[in-house]
Amino acid sequence: MSKIDKVKEHIGALKMYLGLVVAIILTIGAGIAKLYNSGNINALFWIGLGLILVMVLTFVLISKSMHREIDKLEEIG
C-alpha cells in the first residue's frame, strides 16, 4: 500500500470517528435537555454537561488531526 493510500485511509477513519463523536454529543445533549425541561438539575445533568464538553474537545482534536493529514496528503501528492 502506498503512502498516499495510507493517509487516505487514516483520513477516512478520522471522518468516522468525527461522526461517532457528533452522535454522542447529540445523544447526551438530548438527555440533558430532557433533564433540564423536567426540572431535574441533579448530578446526572452536570455529568452529562461535563461529558459534552469533553466530547467537544475530542471533536476539535480529531478535526485538527484530520486537517494535518489532509495537509500531509497535499504534500505527498
Phi-psi sector, 39: left (phi>0), alpha (psi -120 to 50), beta: left
DSSP secondary structure string for all residues of the chain: --HHHHHHHHHHHHHHHHHHHHHHHHHHHHHHHHHHHTT--SHHHHHHHHHHHHHHHHHHHHHHHHHHHHHHHHHH-
What is the rounded average pLDDT for all residues in the chain? 94
Phi, psi (5° rounding) for residue 40? -90, 75
pLDDT for 74 equals 82
pLDDT at 37: 96
Q: pLDDT category, 34, cuts 50, 70, 90?
A: very high
Q: With a cut of 90, say whether residue 18 has pLDDT above it.
A: yes
pLDDT of 3: 86
pLDDT band with cut points at 50, 70 and 90 for residue 47: very high
Q: Which three cell numbers stand for residue 10?
A: 487514516
